[in-house]
Amino acid sequence: MQMFAFLRQTEPETQEISRAAEAQEIAIRALKDKAVERHKRDATSTDAASRQELELIANLSGCPKPLKPNSCPKNCLSTKYRTISGICNNRYNPLWGAANAALARWLPAEYEDEESQPKGWNPGHLYNGFTLPLVREVSNKIMQRSSEHVLEDDAYSQMLVDWGQYIDHDISFTPQCTTKSAFPGGLDCLTTCENRNPCFPMKIPPKDRLFGTRRCLPFFRSSPACLPLDLEMLHTKSQRQQMNAITSFLDASVVYGHTEALEHQLRNLSSPEGHLAVNGDFSDRGLPFLPFVPRRPSRCFQDAVDPHGGRVECFLAGDSRASEILTLSTLHTLWVREHNRLASALKALNSHWSAEQTYQEARKIVGALHQVITMKDYVPKILGLEAFDKYIGVYRGYNHSINPTVSNVFATAAFRFGHATIPAMLRRLNETFQEHKSYPSLSLHQTFFSPWRLVKEGGLDPVLRGLLGRPAVALTTDHLMTEELTERLVVLSSPGDLDLTALNLQRGRDHGLPGYNEWREFCGYERVETAGQLRRVVSNARLVETLIEVYGHPSNMDVWLGGLVEDLLPGARTGPLFACLIGKQMKALRDGDRFWWENEGVFTPSQRQEIQRHSLSRVICDNSGIKQVPPDAFRMGQYPWDFLSCDNIPAINLQAWQEDISKASPSCGPPIAVKNGDFVLCSTPDKRVAVYSCHYGYRMEGSEEVVCTESGWSSGPPICKERGRVRIQYLTESLRGHIAGIERKSFTSFC
């Protein structure tokens, strides 16, 4: 019953900030009401009392204090490796792109009360003279639920679809409200059909097959983001924002995590090669699986045929959604293996490197490979070359004035275009890329939260062959989503299955996304105000007729659906609107990242040359039992004619990372190791520096940096001492008491 909660699980740090944001929101709402009442009683009253109360909220809510540029470290390590949380990537705006910060707004939110109530919250609210259709009604009437007559992509493999989902999990994750029942009264969001924060249930229309047994499908609102507090917000409409729990950057946080605590869990700190932790119970013909989550038994499904066999728990990875579907688990596992392979090779080349330096260098390479594969091999195929050149173009270096933060419309709508190309079946193939007799293909719903199928049914290879050797589903307006997702989506917090179309639409309304026409205008396209104008961008006349019937007016169309049904651009897998929104976001992720692999100084010229040679096909060759692959993992080919032996797939030459230790000063020798910490050699042309760090849970006493001088190291190493866990302080009854005169009915919800 808690599977959906698991699917949206976030790290404790994110949960604490979410609770703080929820507390802040309700306190601000109450304070606004109080300020209005105060002004009614005394029109000459000042804001002095309100200012004191705002300061109290800021101190007690637990929202993080604003981070100023002078808070960013200036040591040489800060120019060498990115922080795990993304903080201080931009030295002028330290929170741009960082984890647990608000999603960017490219257009102001549209809420029915102008502050936080989603579209569709108030019955009878009209848009262009019409009420918005129920999201389940849109799904029933517009999304083709039949899995028959599905067209195959004539150019690209299934890997294109699954890489899109994987990379989406590297750059965006919107947490749901931590509170799961409404206030006052404690209505359960799993059962209520009332719109009461944080519950925003998806009502079922009368002619729906579910009507009669259920009146609505459950839906939890996304958590608000913490807002900067000032007096102006008490007198104006301050719009609710949502947060991105992970870093916005293409930095392989999906492998390494986005908090120090999670990074610590994922590492093998006893490994001198800087390895990531792997599974100690099972292996894939000698190759490792991901480790299991520490809390056991976990909620993942087990093998019903072998109920007394060894349990296979949910996998632990840099992103909590790694066990959501087998293909995600497979890609996660592949990259953990690649990190450990690179780390071992780097340590062999540089025996003087510490475990920390080896880990960080391997992490840096893996992050760069995620960027290369995504921007060079994936994005041009999605946008088409013309749109890629228009919206992204040639790299011209890092620009600190560009905000790389993932936008709300990208995370909630545009980059969900791939949901329409998810197939009804997961193909598992044998060594000749034919249907596997021992491990046959599976219906999609059989792959949800079932890591046991990797461990007990052939490992990664059959799944990888299915991704490489079968075409992707072609996006057509005659088939917009498989019924595996509209009728059988496994989210066991609900009494029954859910509908991904309805969830996507409801999430966009929850986030206050403006409608389809507002985004067309944002991208420089003409608005479509009539059915005739809509037919110019959606050539399927029958679909246009249904859209007008359901929505009443083109401007009422939810942006996710509007972008999805547009005719595809030539050579692309998206229409004009999504090409614009995805292109703008990808350019921002590239140009606003100080550690982008092409930025001068991040890698040496010879290292950049080697990184460009690597490919997803090579990663598969190096970390699985597959011996023949297509040169481009995303391009569909016929086996064996379009496949190459792994011996003919270019590989990265790590000699470009070998350091010449003969140039090191002989007066110092290696830095002294410290218990519960490590060091990185971070030298410049004129000096040799060792920068120390302590493991998570320990604090440093002593100098962080020691410098090599003619007489030896400038000082002894620091000491790493255990520290108590610092918890964020939540808004409590004491805060309510301090804000005198606020009626309890004002505190209707923590969300």
| CA angle, 625 then 627 then 630, to 5° | 120
- In the chain, the largest separation of any two C-alpha atoms, in whole Å, equals 85
Query: Distance between CA 31 and CA 29 in Å, rounded?
Result: 5
Q: Which helix (H) or strand (E) holds 708?
A: strand 705-709
> Side chain identity at 703, as an amino acid letter?
S
Q: Which helix (H) or strand (E) holds 700?
A: strand 698-701
**At a CB cut-off of 8 Å and minimum separation 6, what does 182 contact?**
189, 192, 194, 196, 197, 198, 199, 748, 749
Q: Which residues are catalytic?
A: 169
492, 4 in Cβ contact below 8 A? yes
Please report the sign of the dihedral spanned by the C-alpha atoms of residue 29, residue 35, residue 37, residue 39.
negative
28, 239 in Cβ contact below 8 A? no
Output the 3-class SS for 257-312: CCCHHHHHHHECCCCCCCCECCCCCCEECCEECCCECCCCCCCCCCCCCCCCCCCC
Query: Distance between CA 14 and CA 547 in Å, rounded?
Result: 39
- What b/e string do you get for 65-89 counting C-beta neighbours within 10 Å, with b at 16 or more? eeeeeeebeeebbbebbbbbbbbbb
- By the 10 Å C-beta count (0-12 exposed, 13-18 middle, 19+ buried), 468 is classed as buried
Query: Distance between CA 254 and CA 17 in Å, rounded?
Result: 20
User: Closest Cα to residue 175, out of 220, 232, 139?
Assistant: 220
488, 445 in Cβ contact below 8 A? yes
Please report the sign of the dihedral spanned by the C-alpha atoms of residue 645, residue 647, residue 648, residue 649.
positive
**At a CB cut-off of 8 Å and minimum separation 6, what does 608 contact?**
597, 598
